[in-house]
Amino acid sequence: MKGFQVYHLNLAFSSIPAESRPDVIKRCYWPLLELAEGKGIPIGIELTGWTLRQIETIDRDWIAKFKTLLEARQCELIGSGWTQMIGPLVPYEMNVWNQRLGIEAYEECLGLRPRLVLVNEMAYSSSLVDVYAANGYEGLIMDRDNVRLALDLDHHPDLAVPSHALGLNGQSLPVLWSDSILFQRLQRVVHGDIPISEYLEYLQRLSSEDENVLPIYCNDAEIFDFRPGRFTTEASLHSEGEWSRIGRVCDLLVERLGLGWVSPSEALAAQNDGKVIHAATLSSSSYPIPVKKQAKYNINRWAVTGRDDLWLNTTCHSLLRRLKTVSDASPELWRELAEFWASDLRTHITESRWNDMLARLSNFEEMLPSLVEFSVDDSAAAESAEVRITKHEEGIYWSCESKFVKLVFNARRGLTLKSLGFVSHGGVPLLGTLAQGFFDSIDLGADYYSGGVLIEIPGERIRLTDLEWMNPDIRQTQSHLIIQGEQPMAGGRLVKTISISLHEESVSLSYEFKDWERPIGIVRVGILTLLPDAVVLPLNLQCQNGGDASETFSIESSFNHAQPASLFVSSTAAIGATDGRVSLTDARGVGFEVSWDPAQCAAVPLLKHLKTPSSHLTRLSFSLCELDDTSKKGGRLLPLTLHLRPLSKS
């Protein structure tokens, strides 16, 4: 039986103040090198280029020692990038630059480039395989547990998990599997939460199963003999000395279990030795972006929670767009932008570091050219455009019909859509409202509208929707029919706008929150309900998750990205949609695309698909805010405009 260890070094750790970094190097990074040298364990050390440069500035002796151990193969360098970036939430160009800058730092500081790369925060998408392969990586390290969930292999042997991760262009890379439970068990025994005997019994049981390589540890180094102060419930340091305790546990694994230590690269070779290559996509429609550990660590943790993730991600998209207009942009500018996209700014970042980031961000913006925005005078009425507006009985439903679009909205329910059809679909609506009684089950005995808003603030026991009377203000311009309404709500005012193009098959839905502060809760807008009788199963989801091409997911089983993971975590999954587009099509290729500008609002799409005996409930929503343990007061609710257009197989 073989075992390996990988330690993640991160001086940008969200809750570590900048002044504590020398102490982290002394308490955590030096003992790590001493563990490798003293115990003869070829430890994998993963760190970003940024962290490497910081260590070089603070303690050059550590760099020299690390180089010596690397040359003696007593350690192995594992790649990360310039910063710890959540690749599936970041546009392709930024992912490419992040890896390029990271490799440059490794080569300049250490004189080598890593063979393996660890998926940052284990936030994985198939697109990253192509990014890693293009940068010369020969394999990747990924968490096994959540890939098992994504592939519905949770109750299958570990051998059923694919050996290689398949990219979008046929490229594949071998995967060295880490294990969340295993590394958490080591953390617990080292912190003194469980006795060493119990830990050894657990490892003994695993060693008797089919696995030939055990991922003993693959996580943070800064949690041993150091406490970042993130939680009031953090355990006190173990009296034995936690690095000393790790060393003792490592000795016992060799003595009692006969474990042989190997480097991560050797572990990967041993893991796949004599096995048939099984390359597969490691994600699914239920988990488009698998991440690390338990469900509270879903992708929304870095997308729409934190101090102000929505605003920060939106700003980064805008800065990237501006930077791409600079023909001779220096690597330093790309490094700076990569640092603004680092994951640690989006979780438990301290207030002082957050304020420092805001100041740096302001300076960076001044260095970039402004984007030129073109506006068209669209104020005059379109005399020749044919559009019919019909107000139905009691003024609840209003029909709007142009040459390209047939739309019925519900004024009684906040201008939600009763039906929306396009001419290329023969006017048959794909989106709209499923009235109460459509489903036989009382569990689904509600109205399912399209275009609505849902706001929940659990701490205040508040649930808000926009399903009230909204008197429409309707006007026509040269190119659009515009329907607008305003509704007062407990947190401020909501302005909703439906814009129907008169010259193409396009409808826009806009949401603007006036006088609002982002709540500690959820805010989901543009909730779109698919009309099941108009589509042919199975459905397919298409989106970009950090790559230069779309990923396609077949939708076959029931799932709900918006399913709460707990009372304190409001969702379990999401779609990256890094280019601001997501589409749903059926077995015929008929469907729709929704697009938006992430540089104005980096909303996150959530999908729900629930199969029933005779039908299905499929809803797509867009989150501006989710709830988890990183959520802080303050922040902004940015205006969002969604553009809907039909899709048909040509």
100-118 pLDDT, tens digit per residue, is: 999 999 999 999 999 999 9
Q: Quick: pLDDT tens for 185-222.
A: 999 999 999 999 999 999 988 876 656 899 999 999 99
- Of all residues in the chain, what percent carry a pLDDT higher than 90? 86
Helix, strand, coil abundance in the chain, percent, nearest 5: 30, 30, 40
pLDDT confidence tier of residue 231, bands split at 50, 70 and 90:
very low
Question: d(Cα 111, Cα 88) in Å, to the nearest integer?
Answer: 29
pTM of the model: 0.95
Rounded distance, CA 30 to CA 347, Å?
26
How does 77-95 read in b/e, with b if 16+ C-beta sit within 10 Å?
Answer: bbbbbbbbbbbbbbbbebb
Average pLDDT of the segment spanning 604-612: 97
Closest CA to 323 of 359, 363, 371: 371
DSSP for 442-462 reads GGG-S-B-BSEEEEEEGGGTE
- Considering the domain architecture, whether residues 329 and 202 belong to the same structural domain is answered as no
CA atoms within 13 A on the CB side of 454: 18
Long-range contacts of 471-476 (CB under 8 A, 24+ apart): 471/411, 472/398, 472/409, 472/411, 472/415, 474/389, 476/381, 476/382, 476/385, 476/387, 476/502
Residue 381: its pLDDT value, please?
A: 45
With bands split at pLDDT 50, 70 and 90, how would you rate the model's confidence at 610?
Answer: very high
Peptide bond into 369 cis (omega under 30): no
Asked if residue 532 is part of any domain, the answer here is: yes
In the predicted structure, residue 375 carries a pLDDT above the cut 80:
no
Position 157 scores a pLDDT of 73
Same domain? For 329 and 291 the reply is no
Distance CA 501, CA 167 (A): 38
CB 545 within 8 A of CB 594: no
Same domain, 197 and 78: yes
The pLDDT confidence band at residue 273, using thresholds 50, 70 and 90, is: confident
In 3D space, the residue among 111, 110, 127 whose CA is nearest the CA of residue 119 turns out to be 127
Q: Are residues 289 and 313 in the same domain?
A: no
In a domain, 150, yes or no: yes
* Helix (H) or strand (E) segment spanning residue 601: none
Q: Is residue 54 part of a domain?
A: yes
pLDDT at 226 over 70: yes
pLDDT at position 382 over 50? no
- What is the C-alpha separation between 345 and 353, in angstroms, rounded? 8
- Domain count for the chain: 3
- The pLDDT score that the predictor gives to residue 378 is 54
Residues 361 and 428 placed together within one structural domain of the fold: no
Q: Are residues 338 and 459 in the same domain?
A: no
- Residue 274 domain boundaries: 2-297
Distance CA 441, CA 204 (A): 48
Q: What is the C-alpha to C-alpha distance for residues 283 and 157, in angstroms, rounded to an integer?
A: 18
pLDDT the model gives residue 369: 87
In a domain, 351, yes or no: yes
Asked whether residue 279 falls in the same domain as residue 347, the answer is no
Helix axes 60-71, 49-58, angle to 10 degrees: 120
User: Residue 229 has what pLDDT?
Assistant: 62
Q: What is the predicted pLDDT for the residue at 316?
A: 98
pLDDT value of position 384: 52
Averaged pLDDT of the chain: 93
Please tell me the predicted confidence (pLDDT) of residue 373.
60
Residue 294: pLDDT above 60? yes
Is residue 17 over pLDDT 90? no
Would the CA dihedral through 633, 638, 639, 645 be positive or negative? negative
* CATH code for the domain in which residue 479 is found: 2.70.98
597 with 536, same domain: the answer is: yes
Spatial separation of the C-alpha atoms in residues 207 and 379, rounded to whole Å: 73
493 located within any domain: yes
More confident of the two residues 375 and 315: 315
- Domain limit, last residue, from 251, 271, 297: 297
Mean pLDDT of 364-378: 73
Strand partners, 44: 6, 76
Q: In 3D, which of 547, 642, 542, 541 has the Cα closest to residue 601?
A: 642
Q: Are residues 358 and 396 in the same domain?
A: no
Mean pLDDT in residue range 633-644: 95
CATH classification at residue 54: 3.20.110.20
Distance of CA 534 to the CA centre of its chain: 31
Q: Which of 158, 157, 236, 147 is nearest to 191 (CA)?
A: 236
Domain boundary among 297, 332, 349: 297
Has residue 590 been placed in a domain?
A: yes
- Confirm whether 355 is domain-assigned: yes
Cα–Cα distance, 318 to 344 (Å, whole number): 20
Mean pLDDT for 497-517 is: 96
Q: Are residues 241 and 324 in the same domain?
A: no
Tokens of 92: 């392709």
Which pair of structure tokens corresponds to residue 314?
Answer: 């939106």
Q: Looking at the structure, do residues 356 and 421 belong to the same domain, yes or no?
A: no
Judge whether residue 383 has pLDDT over 60. no
pLDDT over 60 at 234, yes or no: no
Q: What token pair was written down for 221?
A: 């180094």
CA dist 570 and 191 (Å) reads: 30
Q: What is the pLDDT of residues 151-194, one digit of tens each?
A: 998 777 777 899 999 999 899 999 999 999 999 999 999 999 99
Average of per-residue pLDDT across 357-369: 94
Residue 423 within any structural domain of the chain: yes
Shared-domain flag, residues 70 and 183: yes
